[in-house]
Amino acid sequence: MSSAVYRFQGFVLDCGARELRRDGAPVALPARVLECLDALIAHRDRAVGRDELARAVFSRDNVSDAQLGQVVLRARRVLGDDGQAQRFIRTVPRFGFRWVAPTREEVAAPRDAPGDATPAPVLPGAAARRLRRLWPAAAAAVPALAVLVAVALWRTPADRAPSPPPAIVLPAEVVAGGEATAAWARLGVMDYLGDRLRRGGFAVQDSERVLALLHGAGTPAERLARARAAVGGWAIASTLRPAGAGWRVELSAHDAGGRALHAEGEHAQLLGAADLAAGRLLGALAGADPSHALALAERLRRAQAALRAHEPGAAAALLHAAPAAQREAPELRLLLAQAELGCGRDRRALAEADAVLASAPAREDASLRVRALLVRGGAGLRLGQARAAERDHAQAIALSEALARMPLLGAALTGRGIARAALGDFDAAHEDLGRARVVLVRSGDRLALARVDAALGELELRRGRPAQALEPLVRAAEAFERHDLPGEAAPAHAALAAVHLQLLEPDRARARIDRAWALRERVVAPAQVARLALGRAEVLLRQGELSAVRALLAAHGDGHSPAGERRRAEALRAELAWRAGDAGRALRLADAALDRWPPGAGDSHRRALRLLREQAALRLGRPPRAEAEVVADGAGARLLEAVAAHAAGDAGTAARAYRAAVAQAERAGVPSEIADVALAYAPWLLDRRAPQDAAALAGRIAPWAARDFDLALLQARLFHALGQDGPWAAALRDARRLAGEREIPPELLAAPAPASLAAR
């Protein structure tokens, strides 16, 4: 309901007071009749489709014609009208209804304060390396764990928010060459485009109503003319053309005043081309009027529509084009901060949020201040400023509690939980995210709950508990896909790929990273695309696709990536060299990366890279790296200590550290950790003529050997050393099947000698 006051033929409809008066006397008015009148009068310049009216009255469009007809009938009776006279409400056959009585609108005083915005965690796109856990997903992508202010609850500062602009989508035209798809494409693309426009903030007429309206209109020009006359807004036509091995979709939007906007997209898949074209058209529609002519409320509404349609670039352009008088409005600057964050321009977003927080309105309006703190905290997380982000979210929590605004409180708790996870304070992070979930369950915001689930899954990954991360991440990924949020669905799928890598499920990891990578064209921020590429490189490296990994690192390993991701790319290059059998290059790359590594930045990741470095040095007979003694706990730290002692020739320290690493890995119960220790410790035992101990250790990882190249190779080496011809041949077959571009050591290709270690 709006807060407008309408006067017509002796009646006064005060929507804010929810009251109808006739000649000064109140008239009994059911709630749905009131909402029906408000919707029809607010759009009295055009006909209102049945589905649009149903959404206004029933908050849904799956309403029967009989139900809606009863509400319209009662509205007419209240006004002394009927279906024959139609002095107030006219029926538009096969379409809907239109308000026709002369009406004067009066300005009402604002009754509601501006609303809130729910922040959306933008989660990392990292995936973990199983071999020595080179880069766990959540820990690697801390800079990407940002909280964005969502537009779903954002209202314009005007006393009455503008209504969604009407639109009508015509059936698609399929040109020569696409006849094979015409049967489904004409209506399938029509429905798809209508759905995209609805998510972009447009009131789109239902397809069945449109087909009924266009019945009998023969040519495309006739159909377009009829649609423009009926909707009073934008009519969208589409043409589908085969283009090489794919499709080109051409869109044109026409309004009743004769303006026309055009957009097109080309893709291997028809709906992919339609999606690209729709996104570009939404950006054009967002700025369809001359920028200087837009009022502030309308400019904000159009920018919000662009953000809902995943077009932050269009929103930012529209806001940047605002005249100076509007440009300084705190609500505009705050929305611009979100658009910049969506584009990956984190420092610009931070500057805009700072400007809002420094303004007088933010000092007086606690709700505005909370939203600005959430955006600044999100930008800080993206920039690696976790401590500052924690402070911003803590302030937002205190203000939200004072305001008793549950959506804002849930968002602030989620953001602080993510910041605390980035700082390694896992217990406090878990407490914040648990509180956020309780708060958001009460508010009923399922999308915000999905963001909490994603953050909880990432937290469990950071804590080294991939099995516990699986369920919340699956829930989050499914929710993001249902809401068509590629910028959040892609990182959630990538995080699930990390989970499956740590659980030694490479095929499932590949399926998840493929789903994430398929969304990259709809991910706006370049840094996020780079993270997805590095996550994909980690999965492909596990499967031995070395050439594809080189290409990904060449295209995405530098440039837009933040510092943490660049270190991740350097570690991957060292791992790639090691996998390609070039221990010397792996050693040089690892040393160079470790020399540039800042103190205190991701110590667990630094230890993982050092482990690779020491194994390369051991193979080349080089001394270990001269660094301070490892004091951290965990299987990874003990394993690094063991390998370094091995390289230095200290067998006693190496034996104790290897045994401690086994015990730590078994306690943690993470398959990848157990495998990491076995891959280093079992060969050491074989070299020291302890085949039974090596066999016991290799037996621990036997269930995973059929799906992991390294483990299959370890099994083959063990059975070769023991002279067990049958098991050796079976393990060798597994290794060959899983090798990809990786080479099998020549000494393992010859049949084992009759004399074995076991016999000595």
Q: What is the mean pLDDT of each run of 10 residues along the chain (760 residues)?
A: 79 84 82 88 87 81 79 90 88 88 71 36 28 37 36 40 71 71 72 78 76 76 79 84 86 83 84 82 66 72 77 85 87 93 89 94 91 94 90 95 88 94 91 92 82 93 90 93 85 95 94 93 81 93 94 80 76 92 94 82 72 89 75 78 86 92 90 91 88 84 91 92 90 94 91 59
Q: For the chain, give me the number of helices (H) and strands (E)?
A: 33, 16
Q: Where are the beta strands (DSSP E) in 645-728?
A: none
| Predicted local distance difference test score (pLDDT) of residue 118 | 33
Distances (CA, A) of 69 to 40, 72, 97, 323: 14, 5, 10, 46
pLDDT of residue 125: 25
513 sits in which H/E element: helix 506-518
Tell me what pLDDT residue 142 has. 32
CB 299 within 8 A of CB 322: yes
Tokens encoding 280: 């570009």
Helix axes 406-422, 366-382, angle to 10 degrees: 20
At 13, give phi and psi (nearest 5°).
-105, 110
Taking CB atoms within 8 Å and a gap of at least 24, the contacts of 24-27 are: 27/78
Which pLDDT does position 605 carry in this prediction? Answer: 72
- CA-CA distance, 583 to 141, in Å (whole number)? 27
Integer Cα distance of 150 and 153 in angstroms:
7
- What one-letter code names the amino acid at 428? A
Question: Smallest Cα–Cα separation from 710: which of 679, 746, 686, 670?
Answer: 679
- What was the pLDDT predicted at 184? 67
Contact (CB, 8 A) for 505 and 513: no
CA 665 to chain centre: 32
Helix axes 50-58, 31-42, angle to 10 degrees: 140
**Which domains are assigned to the chain?**
5-106 (1.10.10.10), 161-206+214-328 (3.30.160.100), 698-760 (no CATH)
Helix axis angle for 546-556 and 563-579, nearest 10°, is 160
Number of residues written out for the chain: 760
Q: Rounded to an integer, what distance in angstroms lies between the CA atom of residue 504 and that of residue 508?
A: 9
Q: Which of 373, 674, 350, 634 is nearest to 502 (CA)?
A: 674
Q: Which residue has the tokens 């028809």?
A: 270
Q: Quick one: CA torsion of 158, 122, 509, 273, rounded to 10 degrees? A: 40
Give residues with Cβ within 8 angstroms of 404, minimum separation 6: none
Whether the full predicted model's pTM is greater than 0.95, yes or no, is no
Residues pairing with 168 in the sheet: 235
Burial class (CB in 10 A: 0-12, 13-18, 19+), 88: buried
Give me the half-sphere count of Cα atoms (radius 13 Å) on the Cβ side of residue 580.
Answer: 17
Cβ atoms of 594 and 617 closer than 8 Å? no
β-bridge partners, 97? 48, 91
CA 19, 22, 28, 32 torsion-angle sign: negative
Evaluate the CA torsion angle 500, 504, 508, 509 in order and state its sign: positive
Residue 339 tokens read as: 């658009």
Q: For residue 681, what are its two tokens?
A: 């410790």
